[in-house]
Amino acid sequence: MRWIYSTLLFLCLPACCLAQADTVYQLPEATIMQHYLPATEHDFDSIDIAAAGHANLTQLLQTESSVFVRNYGPGTLGTLTIGGGSAEQTNVMWQGIAIRNPMLGQIDVTLLPVDLFTSIGIQAKGGSAQYGNNQLSGGLNLNTDLPIDREKTIGLSLEHGSWQRFSGHLKALYAVGQSRSQTSLYGLHSKNDYAFELNGLSMRQANASIQNLGLYHLSEIPLNTQNKLDIGLWWQDSEQEIPPTSVQNSSNANQNTTSFRSVLGWKNRAPRGKSEVRLGYVAGSIDYRNPARLEESQTRFGSVVFAAQHQWWFGGSKSLTLGVDDRLQHGDAPAYGGRQLENQLEVHAGYEWTKPRWEVGIFVRQGLLEQELMPTTASIQSSFQAHPSARISLGLSRDLRYPTLNERYWQPGGKPDIEEESGWSQRLSVSTSWQWGIWAWDMTGHGFNRLISNWILWSPQDELNFWAPDNLARVWSRGGGVRTQAKAQLADLCLSVRVNYSHTSSTNQVAIKTPRLNVGDQLFYTPKNRVGLTAETSWPKWRVRYEHQYTGSYPGILSEVPAFQVGSLHIARSFDWVDKKMRVWIRVHNLWDIQYRVIERRPMPGRNFRLGLSFEI
């Protein structure tokens, strides 16, 4: 720990020496303003988030072709896969800190309400050297920015829908002195007893209710013209019933999940550089109960996250960044035989060079897991303005994922000496834009290639009644996609269309007996082809939006999951008074009432409705 504090002092000292509290600086236009290029491949903005209503991340991401959510149904588990990777290889960041469960290495995105955030960004690539080891296949960035144009606002939004669904969100924006804060209280209850068909019979889902209650708070405290503090607190308690599969008669299993996330950040901006320090704490518990089988499992976890970095600007077009990240995490479960503690320490550096038409970044990161030196990760990112309306981007990276606490310590099965996943990836993208009549077009095409060794799989052990993780697989993922968006303005009428397509081949390169995987087989629950469409029209006070997704067939563990396509409709009307705003909306999910599955033996709901109202004063 002494080494960590010395590094922090080294990183912050230049900023402290440069800081002058009573001076306002006008930085030259050539100064590098970007940190660690590029940021995200796609961002859901305020319009996307408002249209989602009180949805969770699963429902928002369904039209984003590069992301696939392995969803077991409303109110149940949903995990991410990006570019043919696993959920454990996908990093989820909130306000600059990772919030994954260190025991599982992932997070249930069905428990993350969309309307807490102002931007949701997707990184459809590995980025261990830039964004931290454990981001091997992609990442998700969740951020909430406080509005600067309002000092005081009280907002209430309510939503009622099918299956006795009711949700509410009370939000207060206020200022104390120079500081700004936002506090939100939200809740959800849904019985989720939807109807579905099975072998020609009409049935109704049972034991599938969910209840969520959460508190969310953010504060920004300016210390002077160059220094600022950020505070974030997020508590949530969820009670979920676990429904039976389509081959079970009944289920009374249930699960309680509690999470607490907090972050304290300090930012300093000076004429020749900027510093940032973040201290976060992430904790939670998962209590699983199945009375019918006399099963009960209680797990507890926590992580203390420390990150510090300083970026120097020099030469008008160059920057150098040095930083340190430290994550002290623990897991506590009966299967561990007590508490297991783990420390992940990483130092990283980045050099960026910017010219009018070129941007180049070189990044390197060195990790230490306990007393063991991890493989060095590195990446080169480059972007070239080939034409005033066309840009080419290239990337080469070596990425890594640490084993989770369960993979190392869960007994029986866990292996403390299991190796980390690692590999190389390459990415090429071309972006262009043009004007065609009244339509403004943007289009991006990309291709990627990734080869990962020591892929960790859980499999049953010979003649033993338990599963264990092993470095069984070597996986080759490659593919590409196209995203295009067109917008037009006709007087007060605004039209927009967004279409994205992705193809992903993620195949095993080593024959595996259990689970059965031959060389060249597509990984389980990894669609090769996905298409997403969003079409929207708006005029004063009205907004109509249609969303459609197509997902091609893919292998499941038990059988192949057939292709499916689902459409949704959103209609909203706003009302404005002098100091008050009101908006009402209706959402129709699965508009065409399609019977489909995302996971075999887990039926998804047919057509369902939500009515919503929001009010601000």
Query: What letter does residue 245 receive in the DSSP assignment?
Result: -
Q: How far is CA 226 from CA 8, 32, 562, in A?
A: 19, 17, 56
pLDDT tens readout for residues 320-344: 999 999 999 999 999 998 899 999 9
Q: Counting Cβ atoms within 10 Å, is residue 125 exposed (0-12), middle (13-18) or buried (19+)?
A: buried
Closest CA to 616 of 98, 147, 110: 147
Least confident of 19-33, 63-77, 280-294, 393-407: 19-33
- Number of residues assigned to the chain: 617
The answer to whether 106 and 91 have CB atoms below 8 angstroms apart is no
Instruction: Count Cα neighbours of 66 within 13 Å in the Cβ-side half-sphere.
Output: 28
The answer to whether 289 and 3 have CB atoms below 8 angstroms apart is no
Give the whole-angstrom CA distance, residue 75 versus residue 97: 25
Tokens of 55: 């949805």
40 — pLDDT class (breaks 50, 70, 90): low
Tokens of 454: 């020591």
The Cα angle at residue 127 between residues 349 and 458, in degrees rounded to 5: 125
- The model's pTM is 0.91
Residue 10 has pLDDT above 70, yes or no: no
Question: The tokens 């949805």 sit on which residue?
Answer: 55
Q: Is the dihedral of CA 44, 78, 447, 358 positive or negative?
A: positive
The answer to whether 100 and 536 have CB atoms below 8 angstroms apart is no
Query: What letter does residue 563 receive in the DSSP assignment?
Result: P
Residue 99 has pLDDT above 90, yes or no: yes
14 — pLDDT class (breaks 50, 70, 90): very low
The answer to whether 556 and 563 have CB atoms below 8 angstroms apart is no
Domain ranges of the chain: 2-616
Give the whole-angstrom CA distance, residue 1 versus residue 224: 30
Question: What is the rounded radius of gyration, in angstroms, for the C-alpha atoms of the chain?
Answer: 24
pLDDT of residue 600: 94
The answer to whether 123 and 41 have CB atoms below 8 angstroms apart is yes
Kindly state the average pLDDT of the residues 429-451.
95
pLDDT tens readout for residues 358-379: 999 999 999 999 989 999 999 9
Kindly state the average pLDDT of the residues 602-614.
96
Query: What letter does residue 512 receive in the DSSP assignment?
Result: B
502 — pLDDT class (breaks 50, 70, 90): very high
pLDDT of residue 26: 30
Give the whole-angstrom CA distance, residue 439 versus residue 490: 10
Q: Helix or strand or coil: residue 224? A: coil
Give kind and range of the element (H or E) at residue 362.
Answer: strand 358-369
pLDDT tens readout for residues 66-90: 899 999 999 899 999 999 999 999 9
Give the ranges where 116-224 is alpha helix by DSSP (H).
128-131
pLDDT tens readout for residues 173-230: 999 888 999 999 999 999 999 999 988 889 999 999 999 999 999 999 999 999 999 9
pLDDT tens readout for residues 226-256: 999 999 999 999 999 999 999 998 999 999 9
Tokens of 186: 């939200």
Query: Under CATH, which architecture does the 2-616 domain have?
Result: Beta Barrel (2.40)
Kindly state the average pLDDT of the residues 419-425.
96
Residue 485 has pLDDT above 60, yes or no: yes
Q: How far is CA 362 from the centre of its chain?
A: 25
CB-based contacts of 426, cutoff 8 Å, min separation 6 = 395, 396, 397, 448, 449, 450
pLDDT tens readout for residues 125-147: 888 999 999 999 999 999 999 98
Residue 39 has pLDDT above 60, yes or no: no
pLDDT above 90 covers what percent of the chain? Answer: 82
